[in-house]
């Protein structure tokens, strides 16, 4: 079998994400899918920033499990946008567009 490349190539997960997803290595595509499965299963989406969970919308509500992962995120994207979630509190939200930064912050480089 050919070695997977790009987004399908398995990457090593940092400990918090590994314990949440029950794996030490996964492709980025699978990490994102599993995070979304968790978010949807626990109805952690809301239409308003820091709103109550309502199972729909572009904001993701940080529960205790997601918070441990989100708080690892302090990065600057290629376009120069800073994503710093280190001070996030349980019940606060992130924009779904920040998920790529969250995934990137929770894998070993």
Burial class (CB in 10 A: 0-12, 13-18, 19+), 45: buried
What letters, b where the CB count within 10 A reaches 16 and e where it falls short, cover 83-95?
A: bebeebeeebbbe
58 within domain boundaries: yes
Rounded to an integer, what distance in angstroms lies between the CA atom of residue 80 and that of residue 90? 27
Residue 1 has pLDDT above 70, yes or no: no
Tokens linked to 50: 């820091």
**Percent with pLDDT over 90 in the chain:** 82
The pLDDT of residue 7: 73
Residue range of the domain that includes 17: 10-105
Which residue would you say has higher pLDDT here, 5 or 43? 43
If one counts the domains in the chain, the total is: 1
The pLDDT of residue 2: 61
Mean pLDDT across the stretch 33-51? 95
DSSP assigned state of 67: H
1 within domain boundaries: no
5 within domain boundaries: no
27 within domain boundaries: yes
**What is the pTM for the complete model shown?**
0.89
The pLDDT of residue 61: 96
Residue 55 has pLDDT above 90, yes or no: no
31 within domain boundaries: yes
4 within domain boundaries: no
């Amino acid at each position: 079998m050919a070695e997977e490349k790009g987004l399908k190539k398995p990457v090593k997960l940092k400990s918090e994400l590994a314990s949440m997803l029950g794996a030490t290595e996964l492709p980025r595509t699978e990490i994102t899918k599993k995070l979304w499965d968790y978010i949807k299963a626990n109805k952690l989406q809301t239409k308003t920033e820091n709103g109550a969970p309502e199972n729909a919308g572009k904001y993701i509500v940080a529960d205790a499990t997601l918070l441990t992962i989100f708080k690892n995120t302090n990065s600057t994207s290629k376009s120069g946008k800073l994503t710093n979630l280190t001070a996030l509190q349980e019940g606060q939200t992130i924009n779904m567009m920040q998920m790529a930064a969250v995934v990137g912050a929770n894998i070993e480089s």
